[in-house]
Amino acid sequence: MLYIGIDVAKEKHDCCIIDDCGDLLTSFKIRNSLRGYEEMLQRVLTLSANKADIIFGLEDTGHYDNTLVNYLLRKHFQVRTVNPILTAQQKRSVTLRKTKTDSIDAKQLAHFLKNGVGFKPTTIIPQDALELKQLTRYRLNLIQKRTVEKTSVRRLVHIMMPELEQYMTNTASMTVCEMLYHYPSRAHIRKCHTKTLGKLLKVVSKGNYGELMARTIKNELRNSIGIDSEAGSYELKNTIQRIFQLTEEIKEIDKRLATLLQKTNSVVQTIPGIGVVVAATIIGEIGSTLRFKNPGQLLAYAGLSPTVYQSGKYINRRGKMEKRGSKYLRHALFLAARGAYLYCSEFRIYYDKKRSEGKHYYVALSHVAKKLIRVIYALEKTGQPYRPNMLTTTVS
């Protein structure tokens, strides 16, 4: 058996090959390119032509290892990855010296791989799941950017026309943004006709506001304590324009997610309370249930498994969540848990049970999320849609 440890970097990778006895056979560097990958396989296959006797091991280093792992899997090699936290702990356990080079790391990875330290098999993730993962993460990034821009709008409104806050509590809502995009200062609002402003408000607020609100705003801004600023008006209008652009892009992503979700034939969305975006995030982050032997591993991947600490007679019975897995999956599961307990009677009963035990809202919600992930694992494994008795048949 050949054990090949690969220390992944941006432009080049260090490779080290050892045998069953742990003896070093060869070590070399390759470029992060197709030619480099082919050169590596040529060297490996000269040592053993049987792919079943070859195992590649590398750290899960975000996006840097994606192309290499994908290449090896499509060539039908065994590939195993390990969390860098585990390898760092293992390194500290075998030496006290602060010596680190890429070639040393590759050699240590090969030995850890041989000893089976924390490595797990890697499988090819369906392309649709990869697309969902990329799009949902991009969508979240756009939402975060839009939140920053909305905060800027609130700040500018508070400086230039603080009276608006008395009548429109959310001064970064789409209604206020539409109004301020057309009339980005007190002078603009005072000059516009009351009926014109009223019509605009009625359209963008879908009938919630109208001419009465327009007249109120104009009257209040006559004696405003706000500061008139051409620069502020310019910044306000351009900030709102970016909010509109981000909103349109998010809508376009939502359409793409709905289309991709149909291609996956996933049954996650059959659980009451789980919408398109949340379902797409869960499927994208999980990738394939084949990566996990049991729901406990999936629970750990989401960072929802509890920490355990016991020393002597002391046992911590109130361990907090690890929060070491995918933060995107964990966030989506909490959103799904909230939807499930609101729209599914079985999850609601389970949530109420935890609340009756004296647990805080978020603690009870985390229990629903844990239960939910076990249900999702069972659904994805069997391909069967959610049914009312799923919660009672799923092991806690």
- Least Cα distance to 218 among 167, 172, 178 occurs for 167
pLDDT for the residue numbered 176: 92
Q: CATH number of the domain at 2-124, please?
A: 3.30.420.10
Residue given tokens 């992930």 in the structure block: 373
Structure tokens at 365: 């919600």
Q: For the chain, which residues score pLDDT lower than 50?
A: 395-396
Instruction: Give the pTM.
Output: 0.82
pLDDT for the residue numbered 159: 93
pLDDT for the residue numbered 396: 46
* Cα-to-chain-centroid distance, residue 75: 29
- Least Cα distance to 331 among 374, 357, 369, 287 occurs for 369
pLDDT for the residue numbered 395: 46
Residue 375 one-letter amino acid: V
Helix (H, G, I), strand (E, B) or coil at 17: strand
pLDDT for the residue numbered 321: 60
Domain regions of the chain by residue span? 2-124, 130-250, 264-393
Domain 130-250, CATH class in plain words: mainly alpha
pLDDT for the residue numbered 388: 76
Q: Long-range contacts made by residues 68-76, C-beta under 8 angstroms, separation at least 24?
A: 68/6, 68/8, 68/13, 68/32, 68/37, 69/122, 70/124, 71/34, 71/37, 73/122, 73/123, 73/124, 74/124, 75/41, 76/51
